[in-house]
Chains A and B, each alone.
Chain A
Amino acid sequence: MENKFKKITSLWIITVLILFVVAIILGLLMRFNQGGNIKLDPVTFYTDMTIHGLTMIGIWFVAGMAAVNYIMERYVRTSYKANLIAYIMTVVGVLMLWGAGFIGKFHAGWTFLYPLPFKIMWEQWATPLFLYALLVLGVGWTIWTVSLMISLLKKYTLSQVFAWQHFKRDAKPEVETPPFVLISMISLVGVLSCLITAAALDFLLLTEYYSNGGFINDALLMKNLTYFFGHTLANEMLYLGLAVIYELFSEVSGRPKWKTSWYVAYAWNLTLFFVLFAFLHHMYMDFVQPETLQIIGQLASYLASIPSTGVTIFSILVAVYGTKINWNLANLMFFIGTAGWVSGGIGAVIDATISNNFLLHNTLWVPAHFHTYNALGNVLFSLGFFYWFSFQLKDGIIKDKHSMLKILLIVIGGIGFLAAFYFAGADSVARRYANYPEEMASGKFWATFGGTFATIYLLGIILFIGGILKRCFGFVFSRV
């Protein structure tokens, strides 16, 4: 593989990891403020919250994309230029976001729910800067997504790229679609829909901003668009991570490569469809949304879990059960991440039930479940890839150091951090509260508790990424 791809991938990894540590520190500040251990003024808290959310979503999305791009080079030629453009635009976009937040004090939350961005409670220029930052990120990522699609479609026909030739039970097609290609394409399609929605949303917001009151948006429509974009993107991030696992899990475990079977093909094609409707569960408490859509929301949220658990999770368990495997930190991260993903999914299905959502909506239960499949799920998928990749820069042989310690810190820290969210959420403590009123006193205790464990998690992360960063930096500045 060409070295320039290794270089750009290293660059992505370095950037993601540095931003990750910063964003975790913002998270810790929030948690300790909620616990009353430190004192931030509310504006600072909500600014931190907005930046934390956006940064985290942004970096784990590009981490997934970078990993998929790197591995895709095995099957098709991808565009180095698009990759680089996306990198530059991501860095610029993140700097703009941070400027709007840290300097301009923009704090409408990562979902910037309409009409909050227009109730200016910050520097006048922060709102347009924020909207343009989204535009820069959106354009960069769209170019990247479309370019990866072009690469795949140059080699595979439409039916091949979606593995339709595998639908028949005993099919032995001439052209086989590797699961990695199938899942990447399915994720890219979802990603593109999100990005177009985000563009429409951004466009509507900018229009209202410049119309001086001549053009006003509809709050319900904007909320639907916001969550179609926000929820679906968070979902697709995870799928990008899964594409990598389908490719690498067997490889780093020293087992035969996974193939696309008929049920894998079916499951992922179904996912392509269900994932579009799951966002509706964010609208349950908007009684104005038609009841039919609310029920479709619950149905789609439930059904979305069947192909993923039935196929992906089952496949991983089957691949491991009673089978000798070369365990190392890379496939352990994949394995633990899958377990974390399942736990987060359980929390999600409970909350995606309308009658439960009536009680849990926007309590800490929400950050509880999405942090589960991020902090102990998708992040671990990407970290596993980073780890594996960093050895590719040398001889490709993975050498673990202190693996037990790293894993224990991450897992124990992570579980404590997440448990605090779940317990507080089940005690009706609200999410996105800078300080808890006395009625939510238990939130304070859990915040300190969660913050403490999150510190342990951070420690584990720093230990884990130290070696990766060293190898990546070394490679970027080497003259190969």
Chain B
Amino acid sequence: MFRLCLFTSIVMLTILPAQSLFSQSLGDFREEINIYNTLYDAPLHLVGGADVSLHELAKDKPIILALVFSRCSGVCNPLVLELKENLRMLNLQQELPYSVLVLSFDPWDKIEDMQYMAERFNLTNEPDWYFGVTDSINQVINSVGFKPIWDEKKKQFDHDALLAGVSTKGKMTKKLLGLRNSKDLRMLVQSINKVFIPSYRLPTNTSIFTCFNYDPETGKIVPGTGLLIIIMPVLITWLTVIGIRMAVRKKTT
């Protein structure tokens, strides 16, 4: 009996750290702001000379919209860089077409600043990537529900990393707040391509693992570590059954 108790407590102790990875609070609701709103149809000036409106640009292919400003010393650079890397890795263009619009939300940014940015990221000749500015940036960020705040001391905007998905009709179908993994990005690309996503988890600082993780390969949600915890009792049961049999056989022979 003692051995049994010991055994169970060891098992319990292994479950505990696994579970602590699941810790979460209520989740950040700001990701839900203005979903399915039609975004403001702003006239855009794109690097390379074209002038189109946001909705016209979206008509061909739905858009992944990244809101940045060129002098940012914070999250903007990693946001664009990760977006580039993740999209390259996911390689979705055939199956779920999209284009990427990197738009400055800084009224002082000029088209040249964005041109310079595109060059820095080595994205000037990349098809499906657009860099641009607009004169109606306030209307755009209002319709997205994005609120950068100018910090006079630091001479920087205090703002979130934000990606927004825009459907071909100009509607915002999904937002991603913060720097997110490729799984979440795939969900965003699906949503602008009209794929119904019945459920998802709100982002938190600590939510790295979930009960069910989203598999970027198949696009299906695959059982993650959480499911293992559910299977564990069954495994322990069988180990116990086999263990008992081995123990009693030794005694009787």
Contact = CB atoms under 8 A, between A and B. Distances in A.
A197 B220 CA distance: 27
A221 B200 contact: no
Contacts of B20: 215
Interface in A299-343: none
B148 interface: no
Contacts of B220: 290-292
B221 A290 contact: yes
B10 to A, nearest CB: 12
A200 interface: yes
Contact of A150 (B16, B198, B230, B244): B244
Nearest to B223: A290
A220 B226 contact: yes
Interface in B49-88: none
7 contacts: A149-B240, A189-B241, A192-B237, A218-B211, A221-B211, A225-B230, A291-B220
Contact of A204 (B19, B211, B245): B19
A422 B19 CA distance: 39
B229 A288 contact: no
A189 B237 CA distance: 7
B23 A215 contact: yes
Given A150-B248, A158-B241, A216-B25, A193 B12 contact: no
B92 interface: no
Contact of A224 (B200, B230, B236): B230
Nearest to A286: B199
A289 B212 contact: yes
A146 B240 contact: yes
A319 B226 CA distance: 46
Given A143-B1, A221-B229, A289-B212, A196 B237 contact: yes
Contacts of B232: 196, 200
Contact of B212 (A143, A154, A276, A290): A290
B89 interface: no
A228 B240 CA distance: 19
A158 B19 contact: no
A167 interface: no
A288 B202 CA distance: 11
A217 B22 contact: yes
Residue of B210, B238, B245 most packed against chain A (CB within 10 A): B245
Decide if the interface of chain B is mainly helix, strand, loop or mixed.
helix
A365 B45 CA distance: 61
Contacts of B211: 218, 220-221, 224
A228 B233 contact: yes
A447 B207 CA distance: 45
A25 interface: no
Contacts of A149: 240-241, 244
B237 A221 contact: no
Contacts of A143: 1
B33 interface: no
Interface string B223-252: 100100110111011101110110011001
Contacts of A196: 8, 11, 232-233, 236-237
A288 B244 contact: no
B23 A216 contact: yes
Interface residues of A, number: 37
B217 to A, nearest CB: 15
B90 interface: no
A157 interface: yes
Nearest to A198: B233
A154 B24 contact: no
B201 A288 contact: yes
B195 interface: no
Contacts, number: 107
Contact of B24 (A204, A216, A288, A289): A216
B245 to A, nearest CB: 5
Contacts of B221: 290-291
Contacts of B212: 220, 288-290
A207 B16 contact: yes
Interface in A276-293: 276, 286-293
Contacts of B200: 288
A203 interface: yes
Contacts of B233: 193-194, 196-197, 200, 228
Interface in A199-239: 199-200, 203-204, 207, 215-218, 220-221, 224-225, 228
A153 interface: yes
A224 B241 CA distance: 24
Interface string A252-291: 0000000000000000000000001000000000111111
Given A203-B12, A216-B23, A220-B211, A153 B244 contact: yes
Nearest to B238: A189
B237 A287 contact: no
- What 7 pairs across the A-B complex have the smallest Cβ distances? A218-B22, A288-B199, A196-B233, A287-B198, A287-B199, A290-B221, A197-B233
Residue of B200, B232, B234 most packed against chain A (CB within 10 A): B234
A429 to B, nearest CB: 27
B149 interface: no
B236 A218 contact: no
B19 A217 contact: yes
A287 B196 CA distance: 12
A199 B248 CA distance: 25
A143 B223 CA distance: 32
Interface string A147-160: 00110011001100
Interface in B1-26: 1, 4, 8, 11-12, 15-16, 19-20, 22-25
Contacts of A292: 220
B241 A153 contact: yes
A143 B240 CA distance: 12
Contacts of A276: 234
Contacts of A291: 198, 220-221
Contacts of B237: 189, 192-193, 196
Contacts of A157: 245, 249
A260 to B, nearest CB: 19
Contacts of A150: 244, 248
Nearest to A185: B241
Contacts of A192: 237, 240-241
Contact of B244 (A146, A218, A289): A146
A106 B8 CA distance: 28
